[in-house]
Amino acid sequence: MVSSRILELKTQANSESCFDVEKIRADFPILHRLVHGKPLVYLDNAATTQKPQSVINAITDYYTGENANIHRGVHYLSEQATRDYESARETVRQFLNARESREIIFVRGATEGINLVAHTFGRQRVRAGDEIVISAIEHHSNIVPWQMLCEQTGAQLKIVPVDDQGKLRIEVYERFLGPRTKLVSIVHISNVLGTIVPVRRMIEMAHHRRIPVLVDGAQSAAHLPIDVQALDCDFFVLSGHKIFGPTGIGVLYGKAEWLEEMPPYQGGGDMISSVTFEKTLYNVIPYKFEAGTPHIAGVIGLGAAIEYLNEIGLNVVSQYESELMAYATRKLESIPRLTIIGNTEEKASVISFVLADIHPHDIGTIMDREGIAIRTGHHCAQPVMNRYGVPATARASFALYNTKAEVDALAAGIIKVQEVFKG
Ligand code: 7TS
C-alpha cells in the first residue's frame, strides 16, 4: 500500500519534471514569430498543428541528401529512401500498437483513409437495404463518403444522436445495431465539441453482432495514447498534419484480415505483382493500397513527428493538456455572455464557444489583430451547428505547446471583443 503510494508520487513527479512546456516551445520555430506585431498565440491545433524543427529537418534532409523513388531502384539512394520509408511504417505500427506493419497504409490523410474504406470495403460489402451507423458529431469527411456510398448502393445511414452536453446516446446506438448494419464509423474526439467518444465500449457492442468499426482518430492521435489492439477497432484513420507532421500524409490502419479481403482502391504502379493485358495480379498488403509514387518525404516527416511525440510520451501530454483544458474551461466560463458548446465530462483539446449577439467571424477577426489564431465557422461539421442551433462557433483548440499564459491571452482577447461591440 505504502510502496504503491510512493510509486504514484514518483510517477507524478516524473511526469511533471518530464514536461517542460517552455522547452517544448523551443522546438517549434513558428511559435516565436510575431503576428500583427504581437506574439503568436496559436490555438487552431484542431485544424493543423505546428511542426517541430526535427520534422522540418527530416524533410529537408530527405530532399537534400537522399531523394529517390522507392521500391524500384537497386541504386544506393533508392535503397536508402526505401529503408527510411519502411522504417517510418514500423514507427507508425508501434505508435498505434498494430500487430503487423502490413496493417499500416499510407494515405493523404484521415479523409482519404475513410474514402478508401468506403470505396473498397463499402462497395464490396454494402448492398441495398443495408445500414451504416455514424454519429451526429462527425466531421464532413466521416459523413459524405458514406452518403455517397449509400446513394450508389441503396443503403441507409443511421445517425446516433447526441445530448445537449455533447455526449452520444449510447442506448440509441445499441438499438441501431442489427443484422442490416454493415459498418460503424465513429469519431474518437469531436473537432467541435471536444467530446471523447467511448469508442472501446461502442466497438465491443458492435463486435457482439460481428459488425466492424472504423474509428476516425483525426483529433485523438495527438492527445491520447492509441492502442488499436486494445481498442480492437477494425480500421483507424489519422492525419499526419494534426500530429505535428507534414500535410498530405496520413494513415489508415486496418486489420490484416479485412485488408486482404478488400479490393484495391486505385490502380497503378506498386500495387501490382504482375500485369498483362489479360490479367493483373495485385500486390500483397499494404502495397495493394499504395498505388503510384507515394509521399515519401511526408512519410519520413510523419515518422519524425511520431519519434518526437514518443520522446515526450502521450501519457504525459494527455495529463498536461487535461490540466490546461480544465484551466481554460474555468477561465472561459467566468466570462459573462459566453456559452461553451459541448460540456461533457470526457473532453479533450477543444473548446467551442459563442458570445451573445456577436458573430463568431467577428470574434475571430478581432482576435487575429491580437495575434491570436482561433477558428470560426462550422468546422466542417454543419450538422453539429444545426443540432445546437448556432450558425457557427468560435473554437480554441490546444496542443502540447500551449500554455496557461496563452489561455489568459485568449480570455483577454474575448473580453476585448466584447468591449469593441459594447462601444
Ligand atoms: N475527422 C475529424 C474529426 C476532423 O477533425 C478532421 C479535420 C478530419 C476528419 C479530416 O482531416 P483531414 O486531415 O483529412 O482534412 N478537422 C479540421 C478542423 O476541425 N478544422 O480543420 C480541419
Per-residue pLDDT of 231-247, as tens digits, reads 999 999 999 999 999 99
Quick check: 65 pLDDT over 90? yes
Query: Which residues are part of the catalytic machinery?
Result: 380
Residues whose CB falls within 8 Å of the CB of residue 95, separated by 6 or more in sequence, listed in order: 226, 306, 309, 310
Q: How do residues 352-366 score in pLDDT, each as one tens digit?
A: 999 999 999 999 999
Quick check: 6 pLDDT over 90? no
Mean pLDDT score of the chain, rounded to an integer? 95
Residue 161 Cα distances to 17, 136, 172, 384, 407, angstroms:
42, 5, 7, 10, 31
- What is the C-alpha separation between 266 and 252, in angstroms, rounded? 15
Quick check: 373 pLDDT over 80? yes
Stretch(es) of the chain classified as CATH 3.90.1150.10: 18-45+313-422
Instruction: Give the homologous superfamily in CATH for domain 18-45+313-422.
Output: Aspartate Aminotransferase, domain 1 (3.90.1150.10)
Q: How do residues 42-64 score in pLDDT, each as one tens digit?
A: 999 999 999 999 999 999 999 99
Calculate how far, in angstroms, residue 138's C-alpha sits from the geometric centre of ligand 1: 10
Residue 1 Cα distances to 6, 8, 105, angstroms:
9, 11, 45
Q: Say yes or no: domain 55-311 is CATH 3.40.190.150.
A: no
Q: Place 11 in a pLDDT band, splitting at 50, 70 and 90.
A: very low
Q: At what angle do helices 314-333 and 2-18 cross, to 10 degrees?
A: 80
Stretch(es) of the chain classified as CATH 3.40.640.10: 55-311
Q: How do residues 403-423 score in pLDDT, each as one tens digit?
A: 999 999 999 999 999 999 987
Q: Exposure string (b/e) for 370-384, b if CB count within 10 Å is 16 or more?
A: bbbbbbbbbbbbebb
**Which residue type, as a one-letter code, is found at position 323?**
E
pLDDT for the residue 7: 45
Quick check: 274 pLDDT over 70? yes
pTM of the entire predicted model: 0.95
Of 217, 192, 240, residue with least CA distance to 379: 192
Task: Answer for the pair 221, 215: CB distance below 8 angstroms, yes or no.
Answer: no
- What is the C-alpha separation between 378 and 175, in angstroms, rounded? 29
Q: Mutate which of 139, 196, 223 to test ligand 1's pocket (most atoms within 8 Å of Cβ)?
A: 139
Quick check: 393 pLDDT over 90? yes
Atom 5, ligand 1: residue with shortest CA distance: 191
pLDDT for the residue 18: 67
Indicate if ligand 1 lies below 6 Å from the C-beta of 110.
Answer: yes
Count of CA atoms in the C-beta half-sphere (13 A) of 413? 25
Nearest ligand 1 atom to the CA of 191 is 5
- What is the C-alpha separation between 205 and 232, in angstroms, rounded? 11
Average pLDDT (10-32) is 78
State how far Cα 13 lies from the chain centre: 29
Q: How do residues 157-188 score in pLDDT, each as one tens digit?
A: 999 999 999 999 999 999 999 999 999 999 99
